[in-house]
Chain A
Amino acid sequence: FLGAGGGNDIQWCFSQVKGAVDDDVAEADIISTVEFNHSGELLATGDKGGRVVIFQQEQENKTQSHSRGEYNVYSTFQSHEPEFDYLKSLEIEEKINKIRWLPQKNAAQFLLSTNDKTIKLWKISERDKRPEGYNLKEEDGRYRDPTTVTTLRVPVFRPMDLMVEASPRRIFANAHTYHINSISINSDYETYLSADDLRINLWHLEITDRSFNIVDIKPANMEELTEVITAAEFHPNSCSTFVYSSSKGTIRLCDMRASALCDRHSKLFEEPEDPSNRSFFSEIISSISDVKFSHSGRYMMTRDYLSVKIWDLNMENRPVETYQVHEYLRSKLCSLYENDCIFDKFECCWNGSDRQVEFLSLIVMTGSYNNFFRMFDRNTKRDITLEASRENNKPRTVLKPRKVCASGKRKKDEISVDSLDFNKKILHTAWHPKENIIAVATTNNLYIFQDKMN
């Protein structure tokens, strides 16, 4: 049972690390999104250079019961290219903001990937055999002289080396004036939403030349703009329900059945501000950078700069749980504002559903600075800080918990706040949907950790 407490806490071990070793990070290699597919067999990453790299898990080796399959490169393709908006004289970055997998319906895999302006549906398919013995064509493709054809034969499939092909099947473009921050596939598996700073659009996966605008918070006068959309997600079970978060720390739940334009929310989730904690940075740190529904859809989790909050969909006036990710940064907000770190958008994720207990969201994972990432166990209320670093390189070595010393005497093995490296941030993490395997992205490396199997 996942982290149910006591001796059942997960012990995380290093498994693999992908990416360049040198400290000199090429801008294009910066990882910008990480996502497991629905079975967990495939793990996709997107980067600033517009590339998607998909890793595939090896089939479990029955003889090697002490480790799960390793992830190896399965497919790499250029999803988005840099573009130039001639009207505004602006470059459109090719950076992949989000990847979302579709559930598998046939042999091929499908995913949606998006940059700031355009969403693409990619089909990833395998080819491991090819037809041979055509009547009218030679093996190399040249057409045969018809007069030389004297017999008729049926072409047969012969095996070939596995080839994985990625092809763009749909391109959903020209629907967003502002930068897309989220895409979310509906539980009907036919539609999906895309959200930018001010609007949310609803698409049908088959239709690229139309989308429906379902949320529009752009004020008539841009001068009055004080709030933007930061993330959006469909409810996992209710296909008419979605939520979107804002830069003011609010989450709105909308029902598409209520009206065509969901500008009026059904529910508004907002925690009243703690007046004793108020500062000029209060609003900035309340801005929500990520929102994720729990597996059942009963709860949702939001990430703001310093904390993770769990909300019960039935209670709008405050979260049911709050976890501090790096409270020691509260006294450093000025510096973090100065160097722009305060605007970093951290994501968060739930544990996968355990084999035995389906759909229980018990553990929360999110990133921090210094290549640290944090996990919170909702049951035991325990938390742990781990580090993604090449120093813990041995497979099956249990990761050592880290501790940050906020003030006072620093104990051995603790790291003081001022020594933290704010360039090393973990913004993107993902949890395998079924196993205790996690993918953690540092700036340009992808770490895979698994729990220690007995």
Chain B
Amino acid sequence: MFMRGLKRKCFDGEEDIEGTLAGIKAIPSYNLQRQSLLDMSLVKLQLCHMLVEPNLCRSVLIANTVRQIQEEMTQDGTWQMINTQSTGQASLDRLVSTDILCRSSRDQAEGKHGPAYGTFNKDFESDQAQDSSETMSTASAVQAPRNLQSNVWEMESPQENKGNFQKSLDQIFETLENKSPNTVEDLFSEVDNSYYDLDTMLTGMMSNTKMGHCDSLETFSSPANTASNSNCKSDLNDLDHIVEILVES
């Protein structure tokens, strides 16, 4: 059924969670799936910049989807980075089966699970502790880094969030305008220039503050400035696996 696009693995909640969160068995929660959809959409948007001339209709529809998710996540304030993996394993397949998202909202209300747990494995926490200081410098509020990702989100006000997000969408649409031949370069001008390598591109994207929408992908790195890109990258060695899964490299 799947002819192209990102290969995704079905997240089997039962097997993986059982070890870490004793007793909590869950199929991928709505939040997890929503996150997965967001990630997928962002990758699609980025990928379409690499095409010769992106299909504007498709880009607009994907961007609108991203906006919707962002708005919903901001509104219900339960935005937490989903990472449900046990310690040793790389955090898998955040691109989980998103069947729940296909259900109508009424079905979802019935089937929705509780707020997603947002525990991080120890590795992530140590990475993030290091980066959190940088994160906080950009934020108005300071929160304990236990759930760093949620902090990143919450620290910025919803307005700001939207602002950042908007700005990144702006960049996307500017590139769609094809103002300059090196549109992709412009988009990533503040990112490490090795964007030609898809892995690195996504890694760079994940660690770039300017791209607000990437906050969502920043489970594993801080929204630090580009100067710390290389630092982030080395820290991300553990996480190459995730990137690989994201881009099926």
Contact = CB atoms under 8 A, between A and B. Distances in A.
Q: Do A and B come from one complex?
A: yes
Interface of A: 88-93, 116, 178-179, 197-198, 221-223, 225-228, 230, 247, 275-281, 283-284, 287, 330-335, 337-341, 343, 418, 420, 422-423
A275 B106 CA distance: 8
Contacts of A331: 99, 102-103
B42 interface: no
B200 to A, nearest CB: 23
A223 to B, nearest CB: 4
A407 to B, nearest CB: 13
For B2, B53, B106, the residue with the greatest tally of chain A CB atoms inside 10 Å of its CB is B53
A339 B2 contact: yes
Contacts of B105: 275-279
Interface in B59-77: 60-61, 63-65, 68-69
Smallest CB-CB A-B distances: 7 pairs = A89-B181, A223-B170, A334-B98, A339-B5, A222-B173, A88-B178, A197-B56
B121 to A, nearest CB: 27
A227 B63 CA distance: 11
B211 to A, nearest CB: 14
Interface residues of B, number: 42
B174 interface: yes
B58 A343 contact: yes
Nearest to A284: B61
A339 B95 CA distance: 13
Contacts of A276: 104-106
Contacts of B177: 222
B5 A280 contact: no
Nearest to A230: B57
Given A223-B169, A332-B102, A197 B65 contact: no
A343 B64 CA distance: 14
A280 B60 contact: no
Given A339-B3, A343-B61, 15 more contacts: A88-B178, A92-B53, A197-B57, A198-B56, A222-B174, A230-B57, A279-B102, A280-B34, A280-B65, A280-B69, A281-B102, A337-B37, A338-B5, A343-B58, A422-B3
B53 A338 contact: no
Nearest to B172: A223
Given A335-B1, A343-B58, A422-B1, A284 B65 contact: yes
B144 to A, nearest CB: 31
Contacts of A341: 3
Given A88-B178, A278-B104, A334-B99, A283 B64 contact: yes
A266 B106 CA distance: 36
B52 interface: yes
A89 to B, nearest CB: 4
Interface in B1-58: 1-6, 8, 34, 37, 40, 52-53, 55-58
Nearest to A339: B5
Contact of A283 (B58, B65, B178): B65
8 contacts: A223-B166, A225-B60, A226-B63, A228-B60, A247-B61, A277-B104, A334-B98, A334-B102
B136 interface: no
Contacts of B181: 88-89
A283 B58 CA distance: 12
Contact of A337 (B34, B40, B99, B174): B40
Interface string B164-199: 001001100110111001100000000000000000
Contacts of A179: 53, 55-56
Nearest to A333: B102
Given A88-B178, A91-B53, A335 B2 contact: yes
Given A90-B52, A422-B1, A287 B104 contact: no
Contacts of B40: 337-338
B201 interface: no
Contacts of B55: 179, 343
Contacts of B106: 276
Nearest to A116: B53
A178 B39 CA distance: 28
B1 to A, nearest CB: 6
A441 B181 CA distance: 36
Interface string B81-111: 0000000000000000111011111100000
B61 A283 contact: yes
Contacts of A89: 181-182
Given A278-B104, A280-B68, A338-B8, A287 B61 contact: yes
Contact of A420 (B1, B8, B174): B1
A280 B65 CA distance: 6
A227 B173 CA distance: 12
A277 B105 CA distance: 6
A178 B52 contact: no
A227 B99 contact: no
A235 B61 CA distance: 28
B199 to A, nearest CB: 20
Contacts of A228: 56-57, 60
Contacts of B3: 339, 341, 422-423
For A88, A334, A420, the residue with the greatest tally of chain B CB atoms inside 10 Å of its CB is A334
Contact of A90 (B64, B68, B98, B178): B178
A350 B56 CA distance: 28
